[in-house]
């Protein structure tokens, strides 16, 4: 950050009084410009028929990770709840009609200043269609997931949590909530 968004004066990096870390501070108007993590929110859209569980994935048409598979997700917008963001992103990227269930995973990615959250969801039908940010959209059973072509460690970790829990649900248990930290060295 170079200039104050309030008065356009150049900002300086300093530790404000009663704070413990450097912030961009405007010496002209005194505004402290806090920078906080971005929220990435999405869903795990599931289609279940005749004992088979399939998850909807999108092949990315944009960078980063163009051509790799991901769950439908994206940055949360102002004036949205996390559930609103998950529904919107699923519709934008996959054209999918879903019912949203509980928050399933929360993954901290501090080295890129992000927090990723995924909700479980049920596909209402198979009338999905790739949106502008997707090259292709398809459902996959666990054995069909293109694990080597998953775009992000947060998505791979969430899918692993989901399929582990799905086996337990088949034995009468419930889906859990999963929190996980991803660092620069995390490989899935």
User: pLDDT > 90: what percent of the chain?
Assistant: 95
Can you read off the two tokens belonging to residue 185? 């060295």
Clarify whether residues 16 and 91 are in a common domain: no
Entry pTM: 0.91
* CATH code for the domain of 16: 2.20.70.10
- Phi and psi at residue 45, to the nearest 5°: -75, 125
Clarify whether residues 128 and 92 are in a common domain: yes
Q: What is the tens place of the pLDDT at every residue in 101-130?
A: 999 999 999 999 999 999 999 999 999 999
Within a domain: 109: yes
Clarify whether residues 99 and 166 are in a common domain: yes
| pLDDT(186) > 80 | no
Contact residues for 63 (Cβ-Cβ < 8 A; gap 6+): none
pLDDT band at 184 (very low <50, low <70, confident <90, very high): confident
Q: Dihedral sign for Cα 164, 104, 158, 109, please.
A: negative
User: pLDDT > 70: what percent of the chain?
Assistant: 99
CB 153 within 8 A of CB 188: yes
| pLDDT(187) > 80 | no
Mean pLDDT, residues 56-80 taken together: 98
Clarify whether residues 29 and 89 are in a common domain: no
Identify the weakest region by mean pLDDT among 42-46, 110-114, 133-137, 167-171.
167-171
Clarify whether residues 77 and 168 are in a common domain: yes
Within a domain: 188: no
Mean pLDDT, residues 40-55 taken together: 96
| pLDDT(188) > 80 | no
Domains contained in the chain, number:
2
Within a domain: 187: no
pLDDT band at 4 (very low <50, low <70, confident <90, very high): very high
Clarify whether residues 25 and 95 are in a common domain: no
Its domain, for residue 6, covers 1-35
Mean pLDDT, residues 5-14 taken together: 97
Mean pLDDT, all residues of the chain: 96
Mean pLDDT, residues 95-105 taken together: 98
Clarify whether residues 55 and 2 are in a common domain: no
| pLDDT(5) > 80 | yes
């Amino acid at each position: 950050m170079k200039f104050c968004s309030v008065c356009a004066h150049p900002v300086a990096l300093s530790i404000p009084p009663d704070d413990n870390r450097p912030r961009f501070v405007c010496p002209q108007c005194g505004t402290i410009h806090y920078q906080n993590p971005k929220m990435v929110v999405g869903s795990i859209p599931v289609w279940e028929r005749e004992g088979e569980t399939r998850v909807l994935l999108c092949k990315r048409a944009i960078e980063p990770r163009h051509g790799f598979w991901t769950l439908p997700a994206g940055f949360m917008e102002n004036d949205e709840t996390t559930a609103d963001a998950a529904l919107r992103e699923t519709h934008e990227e996959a054209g999918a009609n879903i019912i949203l269930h509980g928050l399933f995973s929360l993954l901290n990615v501090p080295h890129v200043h992000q927090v990723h959250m995924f909700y479980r969801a049920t596909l209402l039908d198979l009338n999905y269609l790739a949106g502008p940010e997707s090259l292709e959209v398809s459902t996959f059973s666990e054995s069909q997931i293109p694990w080597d072509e998953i775009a992000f460690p947060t998505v791979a970790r969430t899918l692993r949590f989901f399929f582990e829990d799905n086996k337990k649900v088949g034995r009468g248990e419930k889906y859990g909530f999963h929190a996980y930290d991803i660092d620069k060295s995390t490989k899935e």
